[in-house]
């Protein structure tokens, strides 16, 4: 197999330096399946890794990109044949294993998911880790009994990739969705995705008591910090919170009272190391009842591998709405 391009992070004099390198297959991490990449995407974690703003990589040098979709080029795993359309999201790509920002990606077969019926490769990466995480959160909330008609569902970080896709999926399932955002200019965008109304972060009364008026049937939180604390105070009895992100901080200051007096469930959503049976089931749903309806609105643009260095700064300054794709192959 000929040499190919990959966007790889190096550690030089204690700093993370990412650049486009020319590699051979022998330089990639081990695996049973080689994927000829067609698409990847940009997640907040990718921006942290590529710029060194977060300690994401566990070794260097390492190809970035936590997601990839493409066709099998080689496989010693009998579950996959040359030409199969497949995807990999999370599983340590771009963290402990060479990731999706390359023309060829080699991974263990257990990480590979056949492209679900109803999705194309580009659509799969428009969903990516962000959409899979949102769908996993919804899947777990519904596993604990959430159903349309029980009351509004609050989604924080609403204009980000996870938030946008969570709103789209929940509204498509028939839920009354309330978006929590600080971006007033994006009100029309949120409404178009299906938000019934928007709460503005600077107008939100977070309260101070262990239990405030119960408002939400469930919550999907991408922020952490004081917003997650507010959610624990205001979820309805036996409601649940899917804790997905920490864009506002990792702290959670609360009491046991929401959990023992209202029966609130706090669900940790880890999409990176999700068990394979659940991962497969959620991707099946992403091609069916959880299929996003507004990917054309959520995808805000595309970049090529060579354009990646200029694409990350906006993520670190919360300047991105929706999702951006990385165009790799034909």
pLDDT in tens, 111-168: 999 999 999 999 999 999 999 999 999 999 999 999 999 999 999 999 999 999 999 9
**Calpha distance 323→9 (Å, rounded):** 22
Report pLDDT digits (tens) over 298-311.
Answer: 999 999 999 999 99
| Nearest one of 34, 31, 32, 42 to 4, comparing CA atoms | 34
In a domain, 73, yes or no: yes
Domain membership of residue 289 (yes or no) is no
Whether 100 and 10 share a structural domain: yes
Q: Are residues 33 and 110 in the same domain?
A: yes
- Residue 29 gets which letter from DSSP? P
If one counts the domains in the chain, the total is 2
Residues 6+ apart with CB under 8 A from 147: none
In a domain, 278, yes or no: no
- Shared domain for 99 and 173, answered yes or no, is no
For residues 134 and 257, state if they share a domain: yes
Q: Is residue 145 part of a domain?
A: yes
Query: Is the same domain home to 45 and 78?
Result: yes
Class of residue 78 by CB neighbours under 10 A (exposed 0-12, middle 13-18, buried 19+): exposed
Percent of the chain residues topping a pLDDT of 70? 99
Tell whether 16 and 55 lie within a shared domain. Answer: yes
For residues 132 and 248, membership in a common domain is answered with yes
State whether 68 and 168 are in the same domain: no
Calculate mean pLDDT across residues 77-104: 97
Q: Report the CATH number that the domain containing residue 76 is assigned in CATH.
A: 3.90.180.10
Residues 151 and 262 in one domain: yes
Asked whether residue 55 is domain-assigned, the answer is yes
Q: Whole-angstrom Cα distance, residue 268 to residue 16? A: 30
Residue 131: is it exposed, middle or buried by C-beta count within 10 angstroms (0-12/13-18/19+)?
Answer: buried
Q: Has residue 326 got a pLDDT over 70? A: yes
Report DSSP state, residue 118. Answer: T
Do 139 and 264 lie in one domain? The reply is yes
- Nearest-5° Cα angle at 235, 234 to 240: 150
Average pLDDT of 62-80?
98
Helices (H), the chain: 44-51, 121-143, 161-172, 187-193, 225-234, 257-261, 276-286, 295-298, 313-316
Same domain membership, residue 134 and residue 111: no
Residues 306, 250 within the same domain: no
User: What tokens appear for 171 in the block?
Assistant: 């509204």
Question: Could you tell me the residue range of the domain that residue 30 belongs to?
Answer: 4-115+294-327
CA-to-CA separations, 136 to 38, 110, 133, 165, 186, in angstroms, rounded: 24, 18, 5, 11, 25
């Amino acid at each position: 197999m000929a040499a190919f391009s990959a966007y790889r992070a190096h550690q030089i004099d204690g700093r993370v330096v990412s650049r486009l390198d020319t590699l051979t297959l022998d330089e990639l991490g081990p695996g049973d399946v080689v994927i000829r990449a067609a698409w990847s995407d940009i997640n907040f974690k990718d921006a942290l890794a590529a710029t060194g703003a977060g300690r994401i990589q566990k070794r260097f040098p390492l190809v970035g990109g936590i997601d990839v979709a493409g066709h099998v080029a080689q496989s010693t795993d009998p579950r996959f044949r040359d030409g199969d359309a497949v995807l990999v999201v999370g599983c340590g790509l771009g963290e402990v294993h060479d990731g999706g920002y390359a023309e060829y990606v080699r991974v263990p077969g257990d990480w590979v998911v056949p492209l679900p019926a109803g999705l194309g490769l580009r659509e799969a990466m428009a969903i990516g880790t962000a959409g899979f995480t949102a769908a996993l959160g919804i899947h777990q909330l519904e596993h604990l009994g959430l159903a349309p008609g029980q009351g509004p569902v609050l989604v924080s970080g609403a204009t980000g990739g996870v938030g946008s896709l969570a709103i789209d999926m929940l509204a498509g399932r028939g839920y009354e969705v309330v978006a929590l955002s600080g971006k007033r200019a994006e009100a029309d965008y949120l409404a178009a995705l299906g938000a019934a109304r928007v709460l503005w972060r600077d107008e939100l009364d977070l309260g101070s008591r262990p239990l405030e008026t119960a408002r939400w049937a469930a919550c999907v939180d991408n922020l952490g910090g004081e917003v997650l604390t507010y959610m624990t105070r205001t979820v309805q009895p036996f409601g649940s919170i899917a804790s997905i992100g920490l864009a506002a901080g990792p702290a959670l200051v609360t009491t046991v009272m929401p959990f023992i007096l209202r029966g609130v469930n706090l669900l940790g959503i880890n999409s990176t190391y999700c068990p394979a049976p659940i991962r497969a089931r959620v991707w099946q749903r992403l091609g069916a009842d959880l299929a996003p309806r507004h990917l054309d609105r959520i995808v805000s643009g595309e970049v090529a591998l060579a354009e990646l260095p200029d694409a990350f700064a906006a993520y670190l300054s919360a300047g991105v709405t929706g999702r951006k794709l990385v165009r790799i192959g034909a």
